Each structure stands twice: as structure tokens, then as C-alpha cells.
Structure 1
Amino acid sequence: MHTRSLGAHGPAVSEIGFGAWAIGGGWGDQNDETSLKALNQAIDRGVNFIDTAAGYGDGHSERLIAKALKNRSESVFVATKTPPADGPWPPSPYCRWQDRYSAAYLRDNVHQRLNNLGTDRIDLLQLHTWTRAWNDDPQPLLVLRQMREEGKIGLIGVSTPEQDQSCVIQLMRDGLVDVVQVIFNLFEQEPAAQILPVAAETGTGVIVRVSLDEGALAGKYSGEHSFPDDDFRTRYFEGDRMQRTVDRVEKIRADLKAFGLQDQYSPADVALKFVLARPEVSTVIAGMRSVAQVDQNTRTSQLKDLPDDLLIQLRRHQWHRGVWYSGK
């Protein structure tokens, strides 16, 4: 497993990280024993970065991670997230930070994160979403800075709202965040315009999420595939979205075949390697809920980089499809 620096102020982390949403819930049935086996297998395979959140099963994901790490001697960097108080997601331009991320709320929520993770210091605390409306008065981030000075937090980060990922550019340039978490994949390539270059300019760490487009870029679904009612992907791929996505994944397969690489790289490998081709990226958090998924995702780090001419060809798969999370 190759490692990269988590920005100018962070440690060396595995370039493939463990995305821990599914083990908390929200992706259909999940057995805790299976989740713990996946976590342990990931650490065995060299993964030393785990990303979780309060909202992943109301802290269940965090508690499972704490249980797994209790029996491990390895140093594992754990990032978690605090959501805003009740209100629209992502926050609207009319939301006040005082109502969504007040100092009292942040302190109470971070205390819950510490308890769930069984630690007295969070390696990386990220605000789970944001709005550009707060950029000129970013008091929540100043509260986190104070908590860092108190020793409760290591690094500070923001996970981008899907509708306005570039809102973090000002935060990076103002030195308010150590890390940003962004959506970047073969379909969503817009972060290459400014977010990634500014991250390099400012020494900000970059965590990439949704690199496999919620599993679709792994090439394992047909156009008729459906998910259980308790799996959020039922809404994400509602209507004709799955068929439209599969049609585009087939074009990516065709590119791989045209370069004669279809036997060396799986579609998932290509999706992950495309993201890792950017040196600004610190780690790619792939969702892992089973030993098989851990083995598939971690093997990518051992493969050769994709040829430059293929990377250029793959850029054509950028897809301006709007924001599916909002139910369009």
C-alpha cells in the first residue's frame, strides 16, 4: 500500500482509505461481524486511514471502528464528521451559522464523537457540510481551531456540499482548513479546475469520496438493477438513472479495451487510478463493507499507474448531470 501526505500538516496516510458509511447503515442489511472482519482485513492490507461520521448509523460506524482498533497495535488515522444542527441539507444561503453550528452545539457534538471513538483526541474533525454564505464569517471553523488548541482535535476539515463544492476554495486560501473532502471521479471532474490546484498551492490535504459513484463505476450493475428500500441508492439511482449510468460505464470499458488493458485493470481499478493520478489527492476513501471489497479496492494501489494517453482519453467521460442527491 502506497502512502501520501495528508496535506502540509498531516501524516502519511494510505492512498486507499476505508470509507465507513456502509458499516454504519443506510446501504441495506449489514452484519457487524462482517464489518469488523472488513475493518481488520483493511488494516492487514496496509490501510491506515478510516473516514466515518456521526450520521453513519447515528454513531454506529464510529463505535465499530473503536471496537476494531481496540485490538490492533497499528497506528490508524481516523477522520469523522459533525453534521449541522437540524435544518436543510446542505444549508441554504439563508441559514445562519449560529443556528446550525453554534459553539455550544459543536462542543457537545465533538464530545459525542470522542466518546463513540473511545479517544480523547480526534485525528481529523470535518464539518459534514457547509454553505458559501458563511465564508466571510466562518465562526464554526474558529471554534474548531480553539478546540484544537485545547487538544481535542488534530486537523480541521470541511466536506463539500455537492451543489457547491468550490465554496471551500476561499476557506483553503484563508488558511481555515487543513483538509477538504470532495467528490471527484470519472463523471465529476470539476474539482480539477480549481479545488485541486488551490489545495496544492495552500498545502491542503484532499480526501476524495464517491470515487466509484456509489458503486456504479465498479461496473457491477445492469441497467435494471434495483436496491432494497433501506439502501439510499434506491433514491440516488431512481428512475432511469441506473440505465443512463451503465451506458456511460460501458463506454469507459470500451476505452480500456481499446488500450488493450481490460485484463490488467477492472473498471473499479480504472476509476480509482484515475483519481490517484492527481498528485494533489491525499487519499481516496472507497466504501468497504466486506473482506472481498477490501481486497478489490486495496489491490489497486499495487497496480501500475494508468498510461498518460489513457488518462487524457478518460477525461471525456465528465458528465454534467446535475446533483442527484437532491432527488432531481
Structure 2
Amino acid sequence: MLKEVKPNVRQVKLGWWGPEVSEVCFGSLAISPLQGRVTFAEGVQVLRYALEQGINWIDTAEIYDNYPQIAQALQGYPDVKVVSKSYAVTAEEMAKCLERARVGLNRDVIDFFLLHEQESALTLKGHQGAWEELQKAKADGRVRYIGISTHAIDAVKAGALQPGLDVIHPLVNHQGLGIIDGGLEEMLDALRFASEMGIGIYAMKVFGGGHLASHPHTALDFIRNTPSIQGMALGMSSKEEVDFNLRYLAGQEISEDLKAAVTYRERKLYIADWCQGCGRCCETCPQGALSLEEIDEGGQVQAIVDSSQCVLCGYCGRVCPHFCLKIV
């Protein structure tokens, strides 16, 4: 039996002016109600375990609806940093989002706050009011660092030129799965540009929403070996997943038992047959993976999913008024 040795978690600096953090950021979507993999209490336990192992920052978003879960896990960990995000458009909306985060996370200062899922210079322009409020919050100390998250190449390029931007959280993986406006090489070019501008970059969807999880070594190695990317947010919902990822990145031997414990189980988006075809999920899906299809001659339509495009984020389930969508 292998001796259990706590992994040595690598520390990285986010961009030229960002903080030093662990290479791995805990992606809390995996323990949130949005994905429903674990209970509230189980999620707290997994997150606290990750902090005990040396992960020192957490990625969340207003849409994940898990501020209380994170706040409970952070008791006794005042130095752990938190990233949150919102879809706010106006300054007034952003001010409310920031206050909800501060109250919900029980923190006077939010370490990072990002505009969620920006797509281009045009969408950034449309969120100008919210961005100006983020700049104001950074100036008056409510937030330390500001930026964007995105699945789009154009947004990475535009974000790198956005006044006051500190960090970009892009979708990137070794097959380019989930990029909405081009291919992997174009995304890597954009990330190089942003990195040369001094922007801090930490990757999302490293495992392509689960599509690449059967070869985790390849997925993790790709991100670590891309010079323009400093860190990665990994969604983890079990202690075994935390152990596997951290031990692999630390170059430690991994037992067969641990490998077996994290063997990837195929997951998919389930759409119930009582779907009314309202189309809200289609409008929400950032990947364009959902569409409406006619199911009978009477014109009744229901949502269908293109599994090759779905990254299993679960955002669609949140807007469904009839609770038809679930990741299983």
C-alpha cells in the first residue's frame, strides 16, 4: 500500500499584478445545487478537505446559488480567496450582486469578481455600466481584482484591452471542446496575447465538461504546459477527485484504488418527456447545444440536446419552469 503523503500544491502568480495562489482553484459548480451531485453538507466536506490539502482559492458564481455552502466551508480559512461572477448589465445590478456576494459569503471584500460569460467586445460594451461599477468597487476596496469569464476567443482578445481588467477565466482544453467562436489554436493565440498584456489567466472546462475525463493526465498536462495559462479551476465533488488531481500534478504515485475511485462515469443532460418546449433553455445555453424539435403533427415541440456540444454546466436546468432538465 502506498504511504499517504500530502501533495505539495504548486503556487502560481496570476499575471503581472495578481496574487499568488495555488495552481488548482476549486471549481464549486460541481458541489452546487445547479449540478446536484452532492448534498449541501457533502459539498462542504469536500471543499474543506480541498482546503486542508492546500488549495487556497475557490471559483463560484451567483448562478451557482452556493454562497452559504462556501461560507460554511470557509470558517477557519480567512485567507482563502474567492472568485464570483454575475450576469449584471447595469451599475445598479452589479452593486446589488456585489452586496449579495459580500453578505452571502460573509466577507467584507470579495477577492475576485468577474463579468460572467462575455462573448465579444460588443457584449463587454453592453455591460459597460456593470464594468464601471466593478472598477468603482475595486477602487473603494469592495473587490480586489476584476475580470471576465468566457467561452469565446473574441472576448479574450477584447478583455485583454478592457481598462482595469486583471484576470480572464477562459474555456480551454486540449481538444478545444466548448469554444463557441473558433478553434483551439485561435484560442491559444488569444490567450498568448492576453498573457503578454499581463493578464492573469486560469482555465475552465479542462476536462471538456466530462468529455475528456477518461484521459485526465492528458487534460491536466495540456493546461500545465501552456505557458500563457497560470492556473486551472477543477470541478471536484469527492475527496478522491481532490486527491487524484493534486497528487498527479504533484508528481506523486497514484494507487490503483484511487484510480478506480475516480474512474469516469458517463454523464448526460436528461430532458424529461413533459418538456413544454418554451425555449428558455435554448436561449440560456452558452454552447448552442439545445434546440427545439417538433414531436407531433400538431406542432408540439420539445427541447433536444446535441451531446457533442453540451459541456454539462447545468445552466439550462436553472431556467426551466417545469424542472425538465437535469444532469444524470
Q: TM-score, normalised by structure 1?
A: 0.69
| 1:116-139 Cα shifts (integer Å, max 9, x gaps) | 110011000011122431445734
Q: 1:148 aligns with which of 128, 138, 146?
A: 138
Matched pairs, number: 242
State the alpha-carbon separation in 2 of the partners of residues 108 and 135 from structure 1: 19
Structure-1 residue corresponding to 2:98: 110
1:159 matched to 2:107: no
Contact kept? 1:81, 1:127, Cα under 8 Å = yes
Structure-1 residue corresponding to 2:83: 79
1:280 matched to 2:228: yes
Give the drift of 1:191: 5.3
SS of the residue corresponding to residue 22 of structure 1 reads helix
1:208 matched to 2:203: yes
Structure 2: runs of 5 or more not aligned: 1-8, 177-183, 253-285, 291-304, 307-328
State the alpha-carbon separation in 2 of the partners of residues 8 and 135 from structure 1: 23
Give the drift of 1:153: 0.7
Amino acid at match of 2:197: T
Contact kept? 1:15, 1:301, Cα under 8 Å = no
- Residues 29 and 194 of structure 1: is their aligned pair in 2 closer, same or farther, counting only changes over 3 Å? closer
State the alpha-carbon separation in 2 of the partners of residues 145 and 151 from structure 1: 10
State the alpha-carbon separation in 1 of the partners of residues 124 and 86 from structure 2: 18
Contact kept? 2:195, 2:201, Cα under 8 Å = no
Contact kept? 1:157, 1:180, Cα under 8 Å = yes
State the alpha-carbon separation in 2 of the partners of residues 175 and 190 from structure 1: 26
The structure with higher relative contact order (CA 8 Å, sep 6+) is 1
Amino acid at match of 1:147: A
Give the drift of 1:32: 2.0
Q: Kindly, what percent of the aligned residue pairs are identical?
A: 27
Higher helix proportion: 1
| 1:147-200 Cα shifts (integer Å, max 9, x gaps) | 11111111001011x3x3322312312434110111110111245442221122
State the alpha-carbon separation in 2 of the partners of residues 143 and 65 from structure 1: 24
Structure-1 residue corresponding to 2:246: 298
Contact kept? 2:31, 2:37, Cα under 8 Å = no
Structure-1 residue corresponding to 2:57: 49
SS of the residue corresponding to residue 203 of structure 2 reads strand
- Residues 143 and 31 of structure 1: is their aligned pair in 2 closer, same or farther, counting only changes over 3 Å? same
Give the drift of 1:110: 0.9
Give the drift of 1:15: 0.9
Structure-1 residue corresponding to 2:156: 168
Give the drift of 1:216: 2.5
Structure-2 residue corresponding to 1:27: 35
Q: 2:191 aligns with which of 193, 196, 199?
A: 196
Give the drift of 1:38: 1.0
28-37 vs 135-144, which deviates more? 135-144
Give the drift of 1:10: 1.2
State the alpha-carbon separation in 2 of the partners of residues 268 and 17 from structure 1: 16
Contact kept? 1:273, 1:300, Cα under 8 Å = no
Contact kept? 2:30, 2:37, Cα under 8 Å = no
Higher strand proportion: 2
Contact kept? 1:185, 1:211, Cα under 8 Å = yes
Give the drift of 1:213: 1.1
1:64 matched to 2:69: yes
Amino acid at match of 1:128: H
281-290 vs 30-39, which deviates more? 30-39
1:6 matched to 2:14: yes
Structure 1: runs of 5 or more not aligned: 85-100, 220-266, 305-321
Contact kept? 1:141, 1:176, Cα under 8 Å = no
State the alpha-carbon separation in 2 of the partners of residues 139 and 298 from structure 1: 39
State the alpha-carbon separation in 2 of the partners of residues 135 and 63 from structure 1: 29
Structure-1 residue corresponding to 2:295: none
